[in-house]
Structure 1
């Protein structure tokens, strides 16, 4: 958990990630005095930021350790251990739903999106945000191996292509008026190495990437899919 949290912290601090979170908050609509749930909240940063913007922000995560960290870091938020497919919330009790880098980790993303519709009040908005694991771009001296490593990582995940399916998942669940955006994060510093270590532990390949980082030649680009729709 600590290594994942360290990577999330490093990525979340990037200006690109800060801007992307702000855009996701904008797509939720008016926040003041309204209840918003962040499903798969991790360390709770979005919950804390939403609370700072006047929302009653509720974070839900399946990992009790993540929830403990979130409660310590962001005391203004509310946090509960729970499953994105079975949220501990009453039907129609929230005005906004957000899931950031979550659906690719679920065996059945459609269940989570149906659950989002259940907890949202009529007119509420759902915002889905995350990467498609086959679209990560990495500069390398060995592109064939690189393609294989990215594909192997994608194949190890329950739903690696959830990002490209966000719009249709929302439509299939009965949501309307989808807004689709793609924002690309570009990493050219040590954060890129942290991202690559989450993809593979193949040492010779990572050694080349470490040398690229040392000589200011590392390049990783991650398209992030952002889709919002109305219940």
Structure 2
């Protein structure tokens, strides 16, 4: 979601990293990050579960909110649905359209990509049958407003599925506990809704939806993640912001690098998914 490349949402992907104020020249980098994240086992598992939960019927209209490179729009289209990706970044919309054009669904006109945000979807009341939204709400100041907007555009009986990360579940080992607390605290403070994962059921029920399913998956960073991606840059960013000292930053990265060399580094966090139906 911002300058870094790494984890499943935190300062690295589907939010302020892809917000409309980000210059389009970053689209190639954004697409690279999204492609890397999409390949992780936890993310693949949740994507597959979400698709099974909403399974659009042929002829239905299915919307992916925050569609990025468009892979999930294409997945919705395989069911025979008219699939629409809503994406604020012109650069990512163009990349998604380019990729879609190489597919049967794209050539047949079964997919399209439009400008929009979660808080203001470009559809009329009850015009949509399915909505999916992945790793977006953690970057929304008022996620309840976004989910009520999803309820507005869904027809009665329409289905929705949300996927998001909960940064309160992040574990990094080995690290000085106090330094890690201050670093993670700094990054959580920079995220609008860092505990989004645990709130998915709440925002759906508050918006009047009936819960139909719930699951979770654990993201586990590989050993090389100790010195690359989000973990590889977090100490530098935290030190620049004054959350930790330069000496603490150097000690943090050396500890993790040494641990990775002997196969002892660990970084994980939990991602959640909840599906629901509009009465």
- TM-score, length-scaled by structure 1: 0.90
The answer to whether the Cα contact below 8 Å between 2:133 and 2:161 also exists between their aligned partners in 1 is yes
SS in 2 for 1:174: coil
Deviation readout 1:166-208 (Å, 9 max, x if unpaired): 1111111111134222221212243563242475535523444
Indicate whether 1:182 and 2:181 are aligned: no
1:41 Cα deviation (Å)? Answer: 1.1
Indicate whether 1:60 and 2:60 are aligned: no
1:107 Cα deviation (Å)? Answer: 1.1
CA root-mean-square deviation: 2.1
5+ residue gaps in structure 1?
none
Distance 2:61 2:233 in 1: 33
**Corresponding residue for residue 110 of structure 1:** 144
Cα distance, 1:146–1:126 mapped onto 2, change above 3 Å: same
SS in 2 for 1:130: strand
Deviation readout 1:41-98 (Å, 9 max, x if unpaired): 1122211222233222111111212212211122323111111111111211111111
Structure number with larger C-alpha Rg: 2
Corresponding residue pairs, total = 231
**Segment drifting more, 185-194 vs 64-73:** 185-194
Out of 164, 167, 173, which is 1:139 matched to? 173
**Corresponding residue for residue 256 of structure 2:** 209
SS in 1 for 2:168: coil
Cα distance, 1:181–1:199 mapped onto 2, change above 3 Å: farther
Distance 2:172 2:30 in 1: 20
The answer to whether the Cα contact below 8 Å between 1:7 and 1:194 also exists between their aligned partners in 2 is no
The answer to whether the Cα contact below 8 Å between 1:99 and 1:127 also exists between their aligned partners in 2 is yes
Deviation readout 1:108-133 (Å, 9 max, x if unpaired): 11111011001111111111101012
1:144 Cα deviation (Å)? Answer: 2.3
**Segment drifting more, 92-101 vs 137-146:** 137-146
